[in-house]
Chains A and B, each alone.
Chain A
Amino acid sequence: MRTSTDASPAPTTLSATVKPAIRIDSLGKRFGPTGPVVLDNINLTVAPGEFLCLLGASGCGKSTLLNIIAGLEHPSEGTVTVTSGSAAVMFQESALFPWLTAGRNVELALKLRGVPRSARRAQALELLDLVNLADAASKRPHELSGGMRQRVALARALAQDRKVLLMDEPFAALDAITRDLLHEELERVWRETGRTIIFVTHNVREAARLGQRVVLMSSRPGRISNEWRIDDTGPRRIESPEVSRLAIEITDQLREEIRRNAA
């Protein structure tokens, strides 16, 4: 695994012929006309099929940025283009519908996508099988563990069949063992489905473990302060020395950013 620091907004690996999956141009966000600037001059291009981790301390606006890409909030200035139209989103809480079984939760997503009724059941089962939960299709969310709920949420997000998947700290509330497994699961799903993923987290090791690219954001206002590219040499483990080395490097810079707020 080699890493390279590259602060310039235009990624060098992206050839001119490939259209980016997401393009963000000089985006700014403030809440209300007099509110503080939350996001300032964000420029970011994400290649199709890329796994990008968006990293920052709390209050850096990374979730706001994700919401804007998802279309849940509007930018105050600048533009966001999602080439495939819209994106699927997964949140920190699984936000499954508690009155529906796991299978029906996925089916609802299929229904809202316009999949005919006759095909929904089989497709939902297939998607649940993708996250190894085919046996839990008839269980209700409260009967599932936190990790299982997040996998159902992942299956539901995949049911939207969008090229782009946005994830807002999806594993932050899970215990370390479960999280480690879900990293593996997510990486596998990503490799199998070729989705473009933006993964928001405040966990440096998680970002170093998962991302092909880690983008570090500074806080107040939220700006992109640095980014690291990680050569994809296949699955890596969170305990590996490469991940640790990168995590230390990123953490040092993250702390530097946080210290700047002290003055």
Chain B
Amino acid sequence: MLPDTAHPGSAADPHGGGAHDELRRLESGLDALQTTPLTEKGPWRRFLDGVLPPVLLLVALVVAWQFYTVIAQPRPDLAPGPVKVAGSLVEQWNDGRLQQAVLTSLSRGGAGFLIAVAIGTPLGLLLAEWRLLRRALGPLLSGLQVLPSVAWVPAAIIWFGLTDATVYFVVLMGAVPSIANGLVSGIDQVPPQLRKVGTVLGASRIELATLVVLPAALPGYFSGLKQGWAFAWRSLMAAEIIVVGGSIGFGLGTMLQQSRELADLSAVLATILVILAVGILVELTAFAPIERRLLRRRGLTPGARR
């Protein structure tokens, strides 16, 4: 590898050996002085810091809510107490509607999100690498990101009727622009120095893309995915509320709409809480751990910053 390399500090080098060892020790000493070991929070500590405050707040809110219904005695059909809402939840669970709705919505949301990833990723790559396309399509895509995807529902119903295709179409219109834009901004933020190094190291175009640019763009891409999921889930709920009947399955949005038609506020509130909980759970179990790992490995988490 280094044919002209003498073995550092070897016995064959009686003059340089001692000086070299000196230098090594000096260098190791300085290295030790200049690096501080990172203190990682343990899982228990992370649990206390991350989970305890929101849970405590939640409990406090529910308690306050219960106190309000007991003390102020509002009309139960306009302001049901937490016990009543919990009762509706149990009722929905017992007749199996809750499980079915969560399953339908989650599988739709998941499938829609995956399709959006499959479309948004190559689109983002194209936009990042092809200037002309970017100039032409970039503003439109950013505009689509601002446009509420519910606005597509009427058109989608006319095109696809009351089918799952309508729901998926709305979900895609919500998620694809976020994912593509996330990847584009991730690639834009790759330090030019890293590309330069890649070129100097002799990377071909493909190698530069796969070994340098894409890994470097990963954090930006990932936050695009996160936003894409949020838009997909929101769009899905909106679509399910509006599009009812036909061959469309029974999702959380459908359940929400049904409860409204029955003027059953506690069931409506129960469903809203479920939708919220699903969103939070997906964030906590799927996205947050990956993101934490991704950022920590690059020294980007606040706790690990030196």
Of the candidates A93, A112, A193, A194, the one having the most CB atoms from chain B within 10 angstroms of its own CB is: A112
| Distance A88 CA – B196 CA, assembled complex (angstroms) | 12
Closest to B13 in A: A192
- Given A113-B202, A144-B35: A185 in contact with B194 (beta carbons within 8 A): no
User: B8 contacts which of A144, A158, A192 (Cβ < 8 Å)?
Assistant: A192
| Distance A99 CA – B216 CA, assembled complex (angstroms) | 8
Q: Are B38 and A143 in contact (CB under 8 A)?
A: yes
- Given A97-B212, A132-B24, A178-B34: A192 in contact with B5 (beta carbons within 8 A): yes
| Distance A130 CA – B20 CA, assembled complex (angstroms) | 11
| Distance A69 CA – B126 CA, assembled complex (angstroms) | 32
- Contact residues in A for B24 (Cβ distance below 8 Å): 132
Interface size on B, residues (CB 8 A): 43
- Contact residues in A for B74 (Cβ distance below 8 Å): none
Q: Are B196 and A188 in contact (CB under 8 A)?
A: no
Q: Are B193 and A129 in contact (CB under 8 A)?
A: no
B2-34 contacts to A, CB under 8 A, are 2, 4-6, 8, 16, 19-20, 23-24, 26-28, 30-31, 34
Closest to B24 in A: A132
* 26 CB-based A-B contacts, threshold 8 Å: A72-B199, A86-B202, A95-B193, A95-B194, A97-B197, A99-B218, A99-B297, A112-B198, A112-B202, A126-B1, A126-B2, A140-B297, A141-B299, A142-B298, A142-B299, A142-B300, A143-B38, A145-B34, A146-B34, A147-B34, A148-B31, A178-B34, A185-B27, A192-B4, A193-B2, A235-B19
| Residues of A bordering B, CB below 8 Å | 70, 72, 86, 88-89, 91, 93, 95, 97-99, 108-109, 112-113, 115, 119, 123, 126-127, 129-130, 132-133, 136, 140-148, 156, 158, 160-161, 177-178, 181, 184-185, 188, 192-194, 235
- Contact residues in A for B5 (Cβ distance below 8 Å): 130, 192-193
- Given A112-B202, A185-B23, A192-B8: A145 in contact with B35 (beta carbons within 8 A): yes
| Distance A127 CA – B8 CA, assembled complex (angstroms) | 11
| Residues of B bordering A, CB below 8 Å | 1-2, 4-6, 8, 16, 19-20, 23-24, 26-28, 30-31, 34-35, 38, 191, 193-194, 196-203, 207, 211-212, 215-216, 218, 297-300, 304-306
- Given A126-B1, A148-B34, A178-B34: A99 in contact with B194 (beta carbons within 8 A): no
- Contact residues in A for B218 (Cβ distance below 8 Å): 99
Closest to A87 in B: B200
| Distance A148 CA – B201 CA, assembled complex (angstroms) | 20
- Contact residues in B for A181 (Cβ distance below 8 Å): 23, 26-27, 30
Q: What's the minimum C-beta distance from A56 to chain B, rounded to whole angstroms?
A: 21
| Distance A88 CA – B211 CA, assembled complex (angstroms) | 19
- Given A145-B34, A147-B31, A177-B30: A91 in contact with B197 (beta carbons within 8 A): yes
Q: Are B31 and A145 in contact (CB under 8 A)?
A: yes
| Distance A147 CA – B5 CA, assembled complex (angstroms) | 23
Q: Are A112 and B8 in contact (CB under 8 A)?
A: no
- Given A97-B215, A112-B203: A192 in contact with B27 (beta carbons within 8 A): no
| Distance A123 CA – B20 CA, assembled complex (angstroms) | 21
- Contact residues in B for A161 (Cβ distance below 8 Å): 1-2
- Contact residues in B for A158 (Cβ distance below 8 Å): 2
- Contact residues in A for B2 (Cβ distance below 8 Å): 126-127, 130, 158, 161, 193
- Given A132-B24, A140-B299, A160-B202: A99 in contact with B215 (beta carbons within 8 A): yes
User: A129 contacts which of B1, B8, B35, B299 (Cβ < 8 Å)?
Assistant: B8
Of the candidates B193, B200, B202, B203, the one having the most CB atoms from chain A within 10 angstroms of its own CB is: B200
10 pairs of A and B residues whose beta carbons are closest in the complex: A142-B299, A145-B34, A95-B193, A98-B298, A89-B200, A194-B4, A112-B201, A95-B197, A112-B202, A132-B27
